[in-house]
Amino acid sequence: MARQARDARPGRTYHLVQRGHDRAEIFRDDQDRSSYFDSFLQAAIGFGLRVHAYCLLRSEAHWLVTPQRADAMADVVQQVGRSYVRRFNTRWMRQGTLWEGRYRAYWIDEPVFGLLVQRAIEWLPVRATLVNHPADWTWSSAQIHCGRRPETRLMPLPSYWALGNTPFEREASYPSILDQALTDSTWECVKKGLSSGRPWATERTMASLPAEEQARWQQRPRGRPRALSKVA
């Protein structure tokens, strides 16, 4: 059976993740992370993919992005796969792919859930017990959003932009938002989105979609359809 085509519509915001094969490390040190980070952002600029937030762990790379063209995410991941994997394999004298398979992504109703997913991405190093606070991890966008260091290649989410009229106001407002605890239901929605590819959107937003797209995301019972009973 052919795999279902990914939802990748221009103007929508997505949580995208790449994972190592069998959860193997895709970054062995900061030099690897720097190489991958620069490769991803360079490709994103070239292919029309706006990057809002990110987090690089040991075996995972998480991104919050908005494509400007339908193939932007796929093209970026493909180019990074060619350039970064080649450098990684040469450096560590290994062969083969790094990735578990295709990248995973799901669409986010940005005005409602955008900042929530951004915070979840930036909290991942804490959940992985790498640091005690999100802003202590160098390889995420938390420090950038809190004003600790600049990164001009990132474009803030509209919901982050709404936190203040100036960069200083936004950077002053964000730490208190970042510090708010994330509920178990939030983590479950993130996990579900990455595993199923289903959107995280309000019922109102889903109801506003074209009928064809609503049908695509309609929940269907698992297993084979029931056979029709015979009429006596």
145-179 tens-digit pLDDT? 999 999 999 999 999 999 999 999 999 999 999 99
Q: Which helix (H) or strand (E) holds 175?
A: helix 167-178
Q: Measured between alpha carbons, how far is 103 from 67 in angstroms, rounded to an integer?
A: 15
The whole-number pLDDT of residue 222 equals 56
CA 175 to CA 34: how far, in whole Å? 25
Helix (H, G, I), strand (E, B) or coil at 67: strand
For residue 214, is it within any domain? no
Number of domains into which the chain is organized: 1
Average pLDDT over residues 195-213: 91
Backbone φ and ψ of 27, nearest 5°: -135, 120
pLDDT at 216: 84
User: For residue 122, what is the domain's CATH number?
Assistant: 3.30.70.1290
Q: Does 215 reside within a domain?
A: no
Quote the percentage of the chain above a pLDDT of 70: 91
**What's the CA gap between 150 and 71, in Å, rounded?**
28
Q: Is 225 contained in some domain?
A: no
pTM of the model as a whole: 0.91
- Reported as a single tens digit per residue, the pLDDT across 18-53 is 999 988 999 999 999 999 999 999 999 999 999 999
Paired strand residues for 92 = none
228 occurs within a structural domain: no
Residue 32 lies in a domain: yes
The residue range of the domain holding 140 is 13-203
| Average pLDDT value for the chain | 91
Tell me, yes or no, whether 93 lies in a domain. yes
Residue 220 or 76, more confident:
76
Is residue 2, in this structure, part of any structural domain at all?
Answer: no
**Residue 2: which pLDDT band, with cuts at 50, 70 and 90?**
very low
Tens of pLDDT, residues 122-151: 999 999 999 999 999 999 999 999 999 999
